[in-house]
Chain A
Amino acid sequence: MAQLSNTAVYASMLVYALALFAFAASLAARRVPLPSSQKVLVGPAGATATEQQSHDEPGRKSGNIAISLTWLATGLLIVGFVLRGLAAERFPLGNMYEFSLGAAIAVALVYLIAASRTDLRWLGVWVVGAVLLTLGVAVTLLYTESAQLVPALKSWWLVIHVSAAAVSGGAFTLSAGLIVAYLIKQRAEDRGTAGKGLASRLPSAERLDGLAYRTIAFVFPVWTFAVIAGAIWAENAWGRYWGWDPKETWAFITWVIYAGYLHARSTAGWKGRKAAVIGLIGFLAFLINYFGVNLFATGLHSYSGV
């Protein structure tokens, strides 16, 4: 069963790689029409005209193929994840390898669901790239044999706390991609080179900023919940709900930085680029919390099998 799980994970990586190529091709072919300088606002009749136009947009077909491939790969990854759980007869979030699988699924699903509502094909390269990188690190560096849990992890809070953390990880990754895209586009718009190169393939800076905000506004309550669920679990396992364990400290730092991002967006002089940079630092703090703390610090969150 554990072997089948590995096969499914490798198969999903192969399909993700294909999706990455398709997304790259789509992005290369794509051209976003510059917003016309003429400030005319017509009624709803006008809106349909621009939508019609976007159907013939170059790169749309390969973008759709890429989205389908990503669905397929994510399906395979979920199969691998479920088999992993069945092999050990427990919820498969007991070590960093399994958490990485869960976080990769979360990134992909958050992206796919968001992409089904609004056009996000241009973001696919980043998302699938991040998923492949996560899975690559998982299968090479973090792989651990399927096994039972250490006593400290035998709790329902594992499912609640770690799932919320995995979903947060997925959305934080998405937000970082949107912020990087925003910074690229904003720079191009400021220099008047928005029609050239990579920037010409991205939506407007305002829209990217809005999308990044909405992603973080969605994930911030989830992350708050993940931290508080962890605190409730800690109270039940270690006798205190907060003890400044390295993992707790960095979860707190991540939370505070994203809180800073949310405040910066509504503070004069901090809107835009400065707020975006705070959002990126928040993602960095999350990465330190996820990789750095597990691999380099010894604390209560260090378990056998990483």
Chain B
Amino acid sequence: MTTTMEPTRSQGPRLGARGWLRWGWRTLTSMRTALILLLLLALASIPGSVFPQRGTDAAAVNEWINANPQVGPWLDRLGMFDVFAAPWFAAVYLLLIVSLIGCIVPRTADFLRTVRKPPPAAPSRLSRMPAYERTPAVPEALDLAEEYLQQRHWRVRRETDAISAEKGYVQEVGNLIFHLCFIFLLLAVAVGGLFGWSAKVIVVEGRGFTGSLTQFDSFRSGRFVDPDRIAPFSVVLEQFTATFQETGQQAGAPRQFEAEALVSERPDAAPTQQEFSVNSPLVLPGVKVFLTGHGYAPEIKVTRPDGTVIFDDAVVFLPRDGNLTSSGVVKVPDVEPGFALTGLFLPTATIDPVMGPVSTFPAARDPQLFLGAFTGDVPTGGNVYKLDTSGLDRVGTKALRPGETWTLPDGTEVEFVGYRDFANLSLAHDPGRWLALVAAALVIVGVSMSLLLQRRRVWVRLVPGVDTVGGTVDVAGLSRSGGGRVHEDVAEIVTVVHNRQRTEDETWHN
């Protein structure tokens, strides 16, 4: 992004194909275009925060579309629910990257050329410069100015009647580092997107999972990931502990989540015990395991009157609110007749006059299970957390405490054996993250150098008509980056070359 914009010249009537290409490239890589693309990028990101996004919450997107059947599908077609993967968003940032490269590459070459040469000669009319002073000066003004500038590490070019000096090349180095590393940062994001994968898994206390696709509840991967060759680890969740704020305005707010796991990095390796928690993930070779949430899994046992146990398991109930009012279902389709339960698990149960049974605290102070039993043709497959009760016969409802058994009219016994914690784990493998980290660190270094240092040029020129007592010099400066440091430079040079005697003798006017 070039600092100085060349004014658009009218190129005359004959502009051939090559001319148009040149014009197009110039326009694309001009600062004005880059600026407009930047503002467009900001504008294009806004819908991503207004509408729910598929990448973060696919369920919310479906809800939104169902709630707004008129506009929903249209917004979906426009990519409003997947903004950051939409073609129009990609168009903006790809153009911006091309514009950035088209600017930064010639600018780097230009910088490498100028950095080896002395600064260009002083222009003829210094009074046009943004910082300019004319001052009475001692006869040896140029020598004094040269010495002063060299001591302060300016690069000086001395001519017979003038000095040009430049300082702050490092500012441009920072500027180039910033823009180049910004491209590397995007590259790292691309590497992560193509070669990385992430997965989500719910694990009940006492159970485990391995690094295989069948064990995950959801899996997203880049184009170049072989799903059969995921790290061969295994993790068993031995214990999960959650503590909550007991009293006060924030009672019920989570305070500590901790998990203990038996971890094997390879199938033949001896398992080791490791602890992990929020902000402190489990680090395995090539994958990190994060603790992102938790809930309860009530243990339910269903026994037929003839003594056959048709169901005996801990069932994951999904939390609905901050106090972990949780809901879940049990489906037993392969018995005759089919059997199903819908349930609410309340860690601290209360019957609210309006909302019905709800939990008033997230820890299990008074756990109760509210069940509804159904028989009939129970559908197989589908959402494991939901039951379509149409076409089923309702047998009854019942509230149970741990250890209690509910005997249905047909003699089937439903026992609320107990409950366990479950943990939501999220797994991530991102081979681009180290590149991203290094690039991001250099972005910070580069942008700081670019904005906090100032590149500037100064000139000192003798005004013709020097006599024995001294003469007059013009001192001028130009900031090549932002900032007003150059005014101070000019003022300092004036102090160095200033002829006190002359000032007292006469007044100087233009």
Residues in chain A within 8 A of chain B (CB atoms): 39-45, 144-145, 147-152, 154-155, 157, 210, 213-214, 217-218, 220-221, 224-225, 228, 231-232, 235-246, 249-250, 252-253, 256-257, 259-260, 262-270, 278, 285, 293, 297, 299, 304-305
Contact = CB atoms under 8 A, between A and B. Distances in A.
Contact of A238 (B136, B290, B437, B509): B290
Nearest to B134: A41
A298 B496 CA distance: 62
Given A44-B498, A241-B433, A263-B38, A297 B49 contact: yes
B255 interface: yes
A305 B55 CA distance: 27
Interface string B477-506: 000001110000001001100100001000
24 contacts: A40-B509, A41-B132, A41-B134, A42-B503, A42-B508, A147-B245, A151-B279, A154-B278, A157-B279, A214-B483, A217-B482, A218-B452, A220-B447, A221-B448, A225-B444, A228-B441, A228-B443, A243-B56, A244-B55, A259-B38, A262-B482, A266-B482, A267-B32, A267-B35
Contacts of B278: 151-152, 154, 237
A213 B482 contact: yes
Given A241-B436, A266-B31, A151 B254 contact: yes
- Listed from nearest, the 4 A-B pairs whose CB atoms lie closest are A239-B428, A151-B278, A145-B249, A217-B451
A304 B250 contact: yes
Most A CB contacts (10 A, CB to CB) among B55, B132, B136, B444 go to B444
A236 B281 contact: yes
B384 interface: no
A226 to B, nearest CB: 10
Interface in B429-477: 430, 433, 436-437, 440-441, 443-444, 447-448, 451-452
Contacts of A221: 444, 447-448, 451-452
Given A267-B5, A278-B39, A144 B250 contact: yes
Interface residues of B, number: 74
B307 to A, nearest CB: 45
Interface stretch (B40-48, B148-156, B312-320): B40-48
Q: Is the interface of B mostly helix, strand, loop or mixed?
A: mixed
Interface string B85-108: 000000000000000000000000
Contacts of A245: 56
A119 to B, nearest CB: 15
A266 B503 CA distance: 38
A244 B32 contact: no
Contacts of B38: 256-257, 259-260, 263
Contacts, number: 178
Contacts of B84: 244
Given A145-B250, A151-B254, A221-B447, A45 B503 contact: yes
A186 to B, nearest CB: 17
B248 interface: yes
Contact of A239 (B3, B250, B288, B441): B288
A110 to B, nearest CB: 15
A173 B49 CA distance: 23
B136 A151 contact: no
A244 B47 CA distance: 11
Contact of A151 (B1, B42, B256): B256
Contacts of A144: 249-250
A224 B440 CA distance: 9
B45 A263 contact: no
Contacts of B5: 267-269
Given A224-B443, A232-B437, A305-B250, A270 B49 contact: no
A197 B322 CA distance: 55
A43 B42 contact: no
A263 B42 contact: no
B42 A256 contact: yes
Given A147-B253, A252-B45, 20 more contacts: A41-B134, A43-B498, A44-B494, A144-B249, A149-B255, A150-B255, A151-B256, A154-B256, A210-B484, A221-B448, A237-B281, A240-B428, A243-B56, A249-B46, A253-B42, A257-B42, A264-B35, A269-B5, A304-B250, A305-B250
A239 B426 contact: yes
Contacts of B495: 44
A60 to B, nearest CB: 24
